[in-house]
Amino acid sequence: MNFGQMLIANGGVLIATLGIVSAVILSGIGSAKGVGMVGEAATGIIIEEPEKFGRSLVLQLLPGTQGLYGFVIGLMAMGSLRVDMTLVEGFYIFLACMPIVFVEYFSAIYQARVSVAGLTILAKNEEHATKGIIYAVMVETYALLSFVMSLILLSAVSF
Amino acid sequence: MAIVKMSNFSLFTFDSDRDELLQELQKFSYVHFTNLKKDESLLEQGLSVLEIPKEIEEVDEDIKDVKYVIDLLKKYDDRETGLKGMIKGKNSFTFEELESKVNNFDYHPMIKKFRVLSERLDKLNQEEMKQKAISDELKPWKNLNYDVRSLKNFSFSSIFTGTVPKKLVEKLKKDMVELQKTYLEVISEGKDEAYILGITSRDEKDVFSEILRNNSYTNLSIPTETTVDEEYSIVKDKLSMLKEERKIAFDEIKGMKDYLSAFEETYDYLLNKKLRYAAEENFMRTENVNVISGFVPTDHVADFKKAVEKTQENVFYLEVTEADKDDESVPIMLNNGKFSESFESFTLMYSLPKYNGIDPTPLFAPFFFAFAGMMIGDLGYGIIMLIGTALALKYFNLDKGTRLFVRFLFYVSFSTMIWGGIFGSFFGGVIPMKALINPATEYQKLLILSIIFGGIHLFYALGIKAYINFRDGKPWSALFDTGFWYMALMGGIVLLLTMTMPLPAIAKTIATVVMAAGMVGIILTGGRDNSSVAGKLAGGLYSLYGISSYVGDFVSYSRLMALGLSGGFISVAINMMVSMLFAKGIIGIIFGVVVFIGGQAFNLFLSVLSAYVHTSRLTYVEFFGKFYEGGGKGFKLFRNKSKYINLE
């Protein structure tokens, strides 16, 4: 059996798993990076004004949700994993994971940037800090949309 | 709707009555002054600006002093904090109570006492630092058991005390091998340097000091007149004495810690006093008469008149008229029922309406309630929220803003429980329940439901726009901006449905006609504000192009389903981990309980946060975008927001 034949015989489950782990890995990295960025910036505020911890925590958590969406999609895709999947089925699951792989990674980082900017509102004009939160949430819309799409793709067919 | 009706007042009063008037008005508090300085015509008529910089400066000075004392005393604050403190909350006063309390509290001598004490502390600290420095300097010479004074009095020898780098000590010794009448001893060693004592005779002095210089020698004098040991113990005694004295000073401050709340009350009172003086900068004056103008809620006009009359010993002139509806300078105050009031903060955060606009709070509150619950969507979470907020509302003495926020969460908990029941979710399925819609399998139903809710929300918003147009006597605008859009959107939706659902053919025809009519209407009227015909047409086409944004609006509501779903799945994943742990025996069960409580609490927090911000977005972007224009400015009570107490 050469490599091509092996791929055709066993590739389905491998490719599907590749999709699942990518979803979890990349959204996780994105969120970790994002949460880290905001955390670093928030630390600077807390030195002088520790009472702003609660609100800065909210801003820090916002880019954290992407990782959770990736995790949920990974979990769902895992449910349809079978050892004897065909290559086509495997590729389908792989592709269904793609929206979440890309959008979650980048949206987490862009959202973190808005959150960092929002921290300056918190630092200088605390009353209006919630507006910074709303700005950051605008970015999350697209993370949610890709989540919905991956979800629909995964549930649309049953192997 | 619930914008409080305002009345405009103008008051001419004698200068001598001003202080008492303002005091009385501050008790009354529902006054918003207009800054007359901006009105240049008054200046031209010969009125001058009222300025009282001296009083403000004095109050500022007092505020600074009181704040200083509060910061000093805060370290010894032993009032209850944490849960007990929250239950007790801030003390409540009426303005009269506060005023008489502060007037009976002679705080100036106390401040002086604090100043003296802290000056003493500063001095003690300085002295301590000085002594510590001496002790540091003495430390390396501790092994030297001679009277330092005697070292200075040799007539035939010279003494060198100082440091050389440790690594040069060997070289130094080698360099001075040829010197006969010179002695060198290393007294002690520090991190990088060695402390040395050198004795040399007069004729070798120059050579020796040359050698020392070549070895990076630094001269140090030993700060004592007796032996190092003796000096050391003197410094030690001084330090312990200083410590003692400092403790006495601290104890003295600590002894006055019970005055902390009195100072806090004074602080809040002084801020109000400052506000009173600051308000005077809004007024104009002639030689003897003050001109004051501003707004009072119409409901309070009678009380306002009474408050003014009470304080006027001389004649005065007061005119109160209903505020003009379209006057943009009218300050805005909202007044809603208990339910809607809890959602007012969202309106405040966006922008207050103008005086001729409408208060959107009661309009979006029911949707906010429903949407937020749908995004959390778990019966268990709802119950936790209900219990937590109900206890807080009942037992905690919260200030107004916090109370409103807790009450908001209290209301949302009901919606959360209802949706949790519909989804059949109790902490992510700990107790199996029958679901009306199971989000995990019937996500499509949920998605359609979300979009339908979105449709209702959007049509409702357009409807409000029509209502505003009707109210303002512009029924044609209502048709153009709402009616045509209704036709275009509904026609379009039905047309889309005919593609997926078996509807009679006639439905398709009707839908097409209605949609086309609506669209033509939009093209013809959408640019009606432009002057040229071409401009009107281009504006109309551009308006129609806006239909693409409706697609985005509808899709945006899919977050209703997505957030509920992701929260639910995370909760299920936590339970999965917990059940794996439970299978591992007793230690597993202990860890399992910790993971369950921690994980679910985290997910609850995250769900509530997501629901809060995403529902805000739906309200601000999708809903407010259709009809709401803010831009009003808030009514400022003639009271300062108090920091340490509740002022009624």
Q: What is the mean pLDDT of chain A?
A: 89
pLDDT score of B316 more than 90: no
Q: Give percent above pLDDT 70 in chain A.
A: 99
Asked if the Cβ–Cβ distance from B613 to A68 is below 8 Å, we say: no
Tell me what pLDDT residue A28 has. 94
**Span of A136-140, B220-224, B347-351, B402-406 with lowest mean pLDDT:** B220-224
Q: Retrieve residue B644's tokens.
A: 């340490």
CA distance B438 to B418: 14
Chain A contact for B609 (CB, 8 A cutoff): yes
| Dist CA A78 CA A16 (whole Å) | 9
Chain B nearest CA to A132, separation (Å):
11
Instruction: Provide, as residue numbers in chain A, all residues whose Cβ is less than 8 Å from the Cβ of B563.
Output: 144
Joined tokens for residue B636: 């400022």
Residue numbers in B near A152 (CB within 8 A): 443-444, 447
The pLDDT score that the predictor gives to residue B450 is 93
Helix runs in B312-442, H state only: 338-341, 344-350, 361-376, 379-395, 400-423
Q: Is the pLDDT of residue B372 over 60?
A: yes
Write down the domain spans for chain B. Answer: 145-221, 357-450+558-623, 474-557
pLDDT tens for each residue of B269-298: 888 888 888 888 888 888 888 888 899 999
Share of chain B above pLDDT 70, in %: 100
Tell me the average pLDDT across B490-506.
Answer: 84
CB spacing of A138 vs B617 below 8 angstroms: yes
One-letter amino acid identity for B74?
K
A75 to B569: CB separation less than 8 angstroms, yes or no: yes
| pLDDT tens readout for residues B30-50 | 999 988 887 778 777 778 887
The minimum CA-CA distance between B457 and chain A, rounded to whole Å, is: 18
For residue A72, give the nearest of B444, B570, B606 by CB distance: B570
The answer to whether B223 and B137 are in contact (CB under 8 A) is yes
Confidence class for position B258, pLDDT limits 50, 70, 90:
confident
Q: Tell me the mean pLDDT in the region B179-208.
A: 85
Which is more confidently placed, B110 or B374? B374
Across chain B, mean pLDDT equals 87
pLDDT band at B600 (very low <50, low <70, confident <90, very high): very high
Residues of A with CB under 8 A from a CB of B: 58, 61-62, 64-65, 68-69, 71-72, 75-76, 128, 130-131, 133-134, 137-138, 140-141, 144-145, 147-148, 151-152, 155
Q: Which pLDDT score is estimated for B20?
A: 85
Query: Quick one: pLDDT at residue B594?
Result: 94
Q: Which residues of A touch B617 (CB under 8 A)?
A: 134, 137-138, 141
Residue of A nearest to B620 (CA): A134
Is the Cβ pair B443, A155 closer than 8 Å? yes
Q: Nearest by CB to A144, which of B349, B559, B573?
A: B559
For residues B421 and B594, give the distance between their C-alpha atoms in angstroms, rounded to a whole number: 26
**Mean pLDDT, residues B548-556:** 86
Are B617 and A152 an interchain contact pair (Cβ–Cβ within 8 Å)? Answer: no
Question: In the numeric block, which tokens belong to residue B57?
Answer: 């400066």
Q: Which residues of B touch A76 (CB under 8 A)?
A: 569
Alpha-carbon distance B343 to nearest alpha carbon in chain A (angstroms): 14
CA atoms within 13 A on the CB side of B63: 14
Which range has the worst mean pLDDT, A76-85, B220-229, B257-266, B550-559? B220-229
Top-tier CATH class for B145-221: alpha beta
pLDDT band at A110 (very low <50, low <70, confident <90, very high): very high
Per-residue pLDDT at A159? 67
Pairing between β-strand B92-93 and β-strand B646-647 as defined by DSSP bridges: parallel
Measured between CA atoms, the residue of chain B closest to residue A129 is B349
Q: Residue B636 has what pLDDT?
A: 87
Q: Provide, as residue numbers in chain A, all residues whose Cβ is less than 8 Å from the Cβ of B610.
A: 65
Does B562 sit within 8 Å of A151, measured CB to CB?
Answer: yes
CB B328 within 8 A of CB B357: no
Residue B387 binned pLDDT confidence (cut-offs 50, 70, 90): very high
Contact status of B438 with chain A (Cβ, < 8 Å): no
Average pLDDT over residues B559-585: 89
In this structure, chain B runs to a length of: 648
pLDDT at B156: 81
With cut-offs at 50, 70 and 90, classify the pLDDT of residue B589. very high
Report the gap between the CA of B535 and the closest CA in chain A (Å). 33
Q: Each residue of B326-341: pLDDT tens digit?
A: 888 899 999 999 999 9
Q: Radius of gyration (Cα) for chain B, nearest Å?
A: 40
The pLDDT value recorded for residue B369 is 96
Q: Which domains does chain A have, with CATH numbers?
A: 7-156 (1.20.120.610)
What share of chain B in percent tops pLDDT 90?
A: 25
